[in-house]
Structure 1
Amino acid sequence: MINYEEFKQKVQNEFKNYLGEEYKDAEIFIREVTKVNMQVDQMSLLNLPGNDFTSPSISLQSIFENYEKTGDFEGVMEALSETFQEAIEGFEKSPLNNGLDFSNVDKNIIFTLVNAEQNKELLENVPHRKFEDLAIIYRWNVGVDSNGLYTNIVTNEFAEKIGKSEEELYRLAKENTNRIFPSEVRNMAEVISEIIFGEDGELLPEDEEFRNMMTETPDDKSMYVITNKSKLFGAAAMLYEENLYDLSQQLDSDLYILPSSTHEVIAISDKFGDANELADMVYEINMDQVELSDRLSNQVYHYDKDARTLRLATNKFERTISDDIKEKVPEIEEGKAR
């Protein structure tokens, strides 16, 4: 088998052989791109017939992983060709196909959360503001279709183009994010119950008994999922302090916030356990179960219901979100992880 650099060069030289005749004039373009939490070699096809505005792109590292599993370069290239051709066809119905409409950009600026330390290079080129060990960055919600949601990170260059300061972007995003992606706070037992049994289906008596048992946990011993209805970029819902305040009043206690991913956080009563032990649990789950692109933080946050403030509760900065858990953290007691 060849190594990654050899693989990249081979793809550059040979991939066009696996594309159809209609793409004979396409160009293969590979460049390093800064993504959330990582740098990737992004492969694109340029000069596509009838497609002047958009270009399908894919992480070359992910393709190499498929090659490492099979050792079948030809099979991987054939699958990649199919993926690109499906993406090209999908662009015909994409909101990006006819160019970008800047007329409604103010109503579609949203914010998301990323880890500040892991994304230092990204933050050099995007408007942002720090929030504890995190950073608030901005995205332009371009549109949605059957293939999914299209968003672009707002860069310094784009912010200048639309004439928006960071303060203006924050004001717009605070108004827009909860409107476009309404936040929700739900008992985790209810979420799991819906996954197992569905939302509306009739249950057998034994299933009903099991579901009732799942949802009978006292409030102050329950976990609550804070996200948004789309389940995308949902960790930003914790920036809406009223979500935390209402839950703290319901539980009659301060809260610990556990960052399970960029898409959701978990809230629990601060009577639930020790913050440092909870941070150990978060770290282990991050390293073992969460893709690097989705990791948010290894810290635990504390919400003070009287002061109505959210602050770091732990100081685990020796652990980056790209660490290898097996080298850093001992086994954690079974039963603490979600």
Structure 2
Amino acid sequence: MMNYEIFKEVFKEKLLDYMPDEFKEHRVVEHKVFKVNCEKDAINLLPGDGKSKYKGSPTIYVGEFYEMYKHRDNLDYVMNCAAELMLDGYKNLPEAIKNKDIAVETFKDRVVVTLVNTAQNEEYLKNIPHRDYLDLSIIYKAVISNDKSGMSSVVITNDVASQMGMNEEQLYEVAMKNTPELLPVSIQDMQDVISEMLFEEIAGDEYEEERKEIDDTISEVVEDNSQTKMYVMTNRRKINGAAEILFPENLDKLASILHSDIYIIPSSTHEVIAISSNGHSADELQEMVIDINMNQVDLEDRLSNEVYHYDRNKRELTIATNAPNKRLDGKSVAESISYDIQDKSL
């Protein structure tokens, strides 16, 4: 079985062999991409003559296919999957990209806020307008499309912000206005969220009795543990919904529902969980957060190892814990630092 570096070279060499003839004159371009919480080896296809009916190219990531290769040990299968994903990407490029009518000037009304972990994203943040918020950083995205087929967005980099003629303060101002309009908040009882997930597995009239049984069971469990009642907060798209904590009115609503100050559990970049602060230990909740982050949440979806406390009287969100390791990949801060040591005597 090939190691990752060899696989990457083979992957780049063979990808065009699995693409339709119209792509035979394209070039496979590899580049490093700083994604949220991690760095990835990305692949794009660019036309050899520089001409293309598309403004953009889908991006696929070598690491994802290497994981598939490790599980399958079948290179032909993996390459077919990669080509299929690339083709699907071209077919599903947002209309704005297909028609080459993306105008940076139009981004102003589409900018929304997103939260990422600061310690985990030091390199990523160097080229992105951002501001600190607790142990997190607020960054900005422009929503390119948002319809029944889904949502696509692009990160506002320093270069894009410059083209827009906007500084970070201006981005923050418009994003805080746009976000509630483009991505309205969604607050659900955990019971309803669990029910929805389970009911998706048993859709159809023939399962009506089973659904009722499940609903009754969940209701009993929640009733018996009313002190641990939880609410899930995200946006209606369920994408980057953790940013809803930036809006005090959302936290006010949760505190009102729970009739107390609340703890906010950062379950991912896409959602947070609210629980009453009465009768709960922030440190115990943090142990749960770290365990789930390390074992159940994909690295790129992790938000924080901390637990937050919202004081409903002060209307203030603070960090309630102090994680010994602020990074989300299991590495210590020292491990993430590299040094270029040169022998001055040479």
TM-score above 0.5, yes or no:
yes
Over 3 Å counting, the alpha-carbon distance change for 1:207 and 1:6 in structure 2 is closer
Matched residue, 2:335: none
Quote the offset at 1:218 in angstroms: 6.4
Q: Which residue of 1 aligns with 2:197?
A: 195
Aligned-residue CA RMSD (Å):
2.3
Name the structure 1 match of 2:36: 36
* CA shift for structure 1 position 245: 1.4
Task: Give, in whole Å, the separation in 1 of the partners of 2:255 and 2:215.
Answer: 29
SS, match of residue 99 in structure 2: coil
AA matched with 1:113? L
1:224-280 Cα deviation digits (max 9, x unpaired): 111111101100011111111122133222111110000000111111411111101
Separation (CA, whole Å) in 1 of partners of 2:233 and 2:226: 15
Alignment check: 8 A CA contact 1:193 1:214 kept: no
Check 1:304–1:318 CA distance in 2 against 1; reply closer, same or farther (3 A cut): same
The whole-number CA distance in structure 2 between the counterparts of 1:311 and 1:231 is 24
Higher helix share: 2
With over 3 angstroms needed to count, the CA separation of the structure-2 counterparts of 1:185 and 1:208, relative to structure 1, is closer
Alignment of 1:1-338 (within 5 A): 1-47=1-47, 50-91=52-93, 94-99=95-100, 100-144=102-146, 148-197=150-199, 203-204=208-209, 206-207=213-214, 209-216=216-223, 220-323=227-330
Partner of 1:51, secondary structure, is coil
- Residues 66 and 300 of structure 1: is their aligned pair in 2 closer, same or farther, counting only changes over 3 Å? same
1:206/1:150 CA distance change after superposition, 3 Å: closer
* Distance (Å, rounded) in 2 between the aligned partners of 1:101 and 1:254: 44
Cα 1:74–1:311 change in 2 (3 A) is same
Cα pair distance change 1:146/1:23, threshold 3 Å? farther
**Aligned residue number for residue 337 of structure 2:** none
Deviation at 1:82, TM superposition (A): 1.9
Per-residue CA shift, 1:176-199, capped at 9, x if unaligned? 111111012221112212333479
d(CA) in 2 for partners of 1:138, 1:183: 17
Question: Which deviations, in whole Å up to 9, do the C-alpha atoms of 1:139-160 show, x marking residues without a partner?
Answer: 0111135653211100111111
Counterpart of 1:230 in 2: which secondary structure?
coil
Q: Is the 8 A contact 2:41 2:62 kept in 1?
A: yes
Of stretches 31-40 and 143-152 in structure 1, the one that deviates more from structure 2 is 143-152
Uncovered stretches (5+) of structure 2, i.e. residues with no partner: 332-346
Give a deviation string over 1:206-232, Cα, whole Å, max 9, x none.
Answer: 455335424535654201111111101
Q: One-letter code of the match for 1:232?
A: I
Which amino acid in the other structure matches residue 96 of structure 1? I
Q: Give the distance between the partners of 2:215 and 2:55, measured in 1 at CA.
A: 53
Distance across 1 between alignment mates of 2:224 and 2:184: 26
TM-score (norm 1): 0.89
Q: Which amino acid aligns with 1:110?
A: V
Q: Deviations for 1:110-151, whole angstroms, at most 9, x for unmatched residues?
A: 000000000001111111110110000000111135653211
Give the percent of matched residue pairs that are identical in Structure 1 and Structure 2: 37
SS of 2:234's partner is: strand
8 Å CA contact retained: 1:95, 1:145: no
Q: Which deviations, in whole Å up to 9, do the C-alpha atoms of 1:80-114 show, x marking residues without a partner?
A: 122222222223x6331122133532211000000
In structure 1, how many angstroms separate the alpha carbons of the residues matched to 2:44 and 2:96? 19
**Farther off after superposition, 203-212 or 120-129:** 203-212
TM-score computed with the length of structure 2 as normaliser = 0.87
* Range moving further from structure 2, 156-165 or 6-15: 6-15
